[in-house]
């Protein structure tokens, strides 16, 4: 059995990634923070794709919760390891910096960067021992370009891009690849409330992307065919910013 963990797998892009990896033959560990009902729906879709999975609810920004969940899984699967990790969990709390509460600055960074550290640090060693692993980090156009109203989110996503490049160089010899995906506007709960009609005029493809389109890219980066791609950021944005 091959295992993949997708953080924030209960909804949006994470859910589509869970389904894609299930189609590729992975048993899926679906992480969510609170939305157990949506995570169970993802599990149902994974089963419809012909694989099984389980829901692991924990807050990626909480080191103790993450350790408890991962160690509990490792204890019940002593012979196995998680070979694909998709660090997808994320939130946005937009505001211009002059009005941004400290809590909104920290929460966004804690989930994206703290979450990356907490989960990756625990799963990395088994990947190195088995000499195979795939780590895919969900960045954003905001982390490449910087977007006004998103200094916290841009800082977090820019940080994850730098972490991707650094870690990739640490582990490449062990056949573990580390890449980032940088979506533009993708139709999920996260973009609800944005003015889609106005924003799509800025996108050369003239539309928002779908979670399934992002999942195809993640699936490729997770595949054996992507074995010589590491330390990269792949944009998927309809031509918005390249
Ligand atoms: P979404 O629909 O809002 O889903 C967010 C997911 O993250 C949910 O599964 C949520 O779990 C989970 N999550 C949030 N905080 C968490 C925490 N502390 N611990 C564990 N899980 C947590 O978002 P999305 O649009 O699919 O975004 C997925 C990723 O893509 C994010 O990293 C986002 O920044 C990035 N991205 C999105 C877009 C876009 O346009 N949508 C563009 C660029 C980048 P619950 O269901 O339990 O709340």
Above pLDDT 70, what percent of the chain? Answer: 100
For a ligand 1 pocket test, name from 89, 109, 117 the mutation site with the most ligand atoms within 8 angstroms of its C-beta: 89
How far are the Cα atoms of 104, 142, 143, 153, 180 from residue 148, in angstroms, in the given order?
Answer: 15, 9, 11, 10, 22
The fourth-level CATH superfamily of domain 2-236 is: NAD(P)-binding Rossmann-like Domain (3.40.50.720)
Mean pLDDT of the chain: 98
Task: Verify whether ligand 1 is closer than 6 Å to residue 140 (CB atom).
Answer: yes
Say what the pLDDT of residue 242 is: 64
Ligand 1 midpoint to CA 129 (Å):
30
Task: Verify whether ligand 1 is closer than 6 Å to residue 147 (CB atom).
Answer: no
Whose CA is closest to atom 6 on ligand 1? 8
pLDDT digits (tens, 9 = 90+) for 22-62: 999 999 999 999 999 999 999 999 999 999 999 999 999 99
Say what the pLDDT of residue 232 is: 98
Task: Verify whether ligand 1 is closer than 6 Å to residue 12 (CB atom).
Answer: yes
For the chain, 242 residues long, give each residue's pLDDT as a single digit of tens: 999 999 999 999 999 999 999 999 999 999 999 999 999 999 999 999 999 999 999 999 999 999 999 999 999 999 999 999 999 999 999 999 999 999 999 999 999 999 999 999 999 999 999 999 999 999 999 999 999 999 999 999 999 999 999 999 999 999 999 999 999 999 999 999 999 999 999 999 999 999 999 999 999 999 999 999 999 999 999 999 86
Task: Verify whether ligand 1 is closer than 6 Å to residue 110 (CB atom).
Answer: no
Judge whether 65 and 84 are in contact, CB under 8 Å: no
Say what the pLDDT of residue 241 is: 80
CB atoms within 10 A of CB 98: 6
Task: Verify whether ligand 1 is closer than 6 Å to residue 90 (CB atom).
Answer: yes
Rounded Cα distance, 43 and 9, in Å: 9
How far are the Cα atoms of 23, 157, 173, 222, 233 from residue 52, in angstroms, in the given order?
Answer: 11, 31, 31, 18, 30
Indicate which residues carry an active-site annotation. Answer: 153
Q: What's the residue count for the chain? A: 242
pLDDT digits (tens, 9 = 90+) for 190-206: 999 999 999 999 999 99
Domain parsing of the chain, residue ranges: 2-236
């Amino acid at each position: 059995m091959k295992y993949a963990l997708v953080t924030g797998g209960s909804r949006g892009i994470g859910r589509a990634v869970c389904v894609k990896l299930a189609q590729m033959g992975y048993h899926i560990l679906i992480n969510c923070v609170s939305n157990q009902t949506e995570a169970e729906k993802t599990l149902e879709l994974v089963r419809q794709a012909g694989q099984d999975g389980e829901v692991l609810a924990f807050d990626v920004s909480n080191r103790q919760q993450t350790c408890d969940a991962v160690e509990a899984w490792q204890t019940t699967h002593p012979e196995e390891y998680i070979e694909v990790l998709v660090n997808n969990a994320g939130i946005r709390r937009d505001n211009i910096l002059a009005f941004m509460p400290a809590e909104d600055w920290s929460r966004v960074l804690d989930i994206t960067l703290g979450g990356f550290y907490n989960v990756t640090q625990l799963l990395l060693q088994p990947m190195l021992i088995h000499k195979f692993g795939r780590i895919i980090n969900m960045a954003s156009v905001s982390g490449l370009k910087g977007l006004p109203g998103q200094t916290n989110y841009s800082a977090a996503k820019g940080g994850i891009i730098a972490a991707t490049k650094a870690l990739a160089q640490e582990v490449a010899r062990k056949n573990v690849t580390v890449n980032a995906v940088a979506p533009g506007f993708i139709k999920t709960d996260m973009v609800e409330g944005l003015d889609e009609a106005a924003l799509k005029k800025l996108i050369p493809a003239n539309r928002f992307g779908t979670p399934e389109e992002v999942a195809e890219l993640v699936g490729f980066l997770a595949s054996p065919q992507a074995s010589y791609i590491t330390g990269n950021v792949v944009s998927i944005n309809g031509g918005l910013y390249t």
